[in-house]
Amino acid sequence: MPVNIPDQLPAIQLLKEENIFVMDASRASQQDIRPLKLAILNLMPLKITTETDLLRLLSNSPLQLEVDFIKIKGHTSKNTPVEHMRAFYLDFETIRNKKYDGMIITGAPVEHLPFKEVTYWRELQEIMDWARSHVFSTLYICWAAQAGLYHHFGVPKYPLEAKMFGVFKHTVSDDKLPIFRGFDDEFWVPHSRHTEIRRSDIENVPNLSILSESAESGVNMVVDKGGRQLFITGHLEYSRYTLDNEYRRDLSRNLPIQIPVNYYPDDDPSQPPVMRWKSAAHLLFSNWLNYYVYQETPYNLAELHE
């Protein structure tokens, strides 16, 4: 089944150009089926790009999805038109009493700040607490993964001497876990961050387990004991040219940046980047939707946590 997303969302046309089937709200309403209800708290600066990246992966599922995009009330996006935010995003207050099968919280370009100095930290804390009783399964990505681990379990983040930037090889702790159905023994994940979480801190929390990691980029995926919160430090949702865009942006700003690892052929930025993570990305999101959301969530969301 396709993703049911708001009419006129720019991602619709972009995905159709990639031959990805999406369904507008009017057509979806004609189907006699309960779609999975997803909330996406999009904290990334380029909202439209992130919307498209996530919907591309969510659409690779036989399940029908109904998506609400959520925004932080106390934060104004500088890189996305106000009209877009008004048309397609909801304030948390408007969905506070709703319940969702799944939720995605994205990364954010604020990792240089201590969590408590982020201007919207209190609102984000409120949303993360709310998700534990109103969302069946939550997927935290990059900075959001660090924020969620810190808020819920006290796991700290640490600054890196140099940016973790590139595409890194990962292995899994147990290939029989549902989240890794169809994965190869090794898989690649893009990373773009200035901070890290450490294995030793996670191992000190009995309710957390490390699911995948890399010898170069460290811990990648962590799950809570109930399996309802997944924390991913990398960016499997990135499209082919995202790291390239970030690299050229930093160069143009004269920021210290190295060529992303394992990305360009022969480390030559004049050549198109090699996308090594597409299959793992599609598998991860489809496995999450199927095994951690659809197979587990109550059919009637009113039953959630009653």
Tens digits of residue pLDDT in 279-301: 999 999 999 999 999 887 665 55
Whether 215 and 229 have beta carbons less than 8 Å apart is answered as no
Tens digits of residue pLDDT in 212-264: 999 999 999 999 998 899 999 999 999 999 999 999 999 999 998 999 999 99
pLDDT attached to residue 13: 63
At 102, is the secondary structure helix, strand, or coil?
A: strand
pTM metric for this prediction: 0.87
Whether 124 and 72 have beta carbons less than 8 Å apart is answered as yes
Which CATH number is 3-159+195-238+277-303's, of 3.30.420.40, 3.40.50.1170, 3.20.20.480, 3.40.50.880? Answer: 3.40.50.880
**Domain map of the chain by residue range?**
3-159+195-238+277-303
Q: Supply the mean pLDDT for the chain.
A: 89
Q: pLDDT-based confidence at 5, cuts 50/70/90? A: low
The lowest-confidence range among 15-29, 204-218, 222-236 is 15-29
Query: Rounded distance, CA 37 to CA 102, Å?
Result: 7
Provide DSSP, 111-167.
TTS-GGGSTTHHHHHHHHHHHHHHEEEEEEETHHHHHHHHHHH----EEEEEEEEEE
pLDDT attached to residue 85: 85
pLDDT attached to residue 306: 45
Q: Residue 67 pLDDT > 80, yes or no? A: yes
- Work out the angle between the directed axes of helices 47-58 and 278-287 (0-180°, nearest 10): 70
Q: Residue 6 pLDDT > 80, yes or no? A: no
Q: Residue 99 pLDDT > 80, yes or no? A: yes
Tens digits of residue pLDDT in 113-158: 999 999 999 999 999 999 999 999 999 999 999 999 999 999 999 9
User: Per-residue pLDDT averaged across 266-283, rounded?
Assistant: 97
**pLDDT greater at residue 23 or residue 246:** 246
pLDDT attached to residue 22: 58
Catalytic site positions: 142, 235, 237
Most confident range (mean pLDDT) of 41-50, 77-86, 193-202 is 193-202
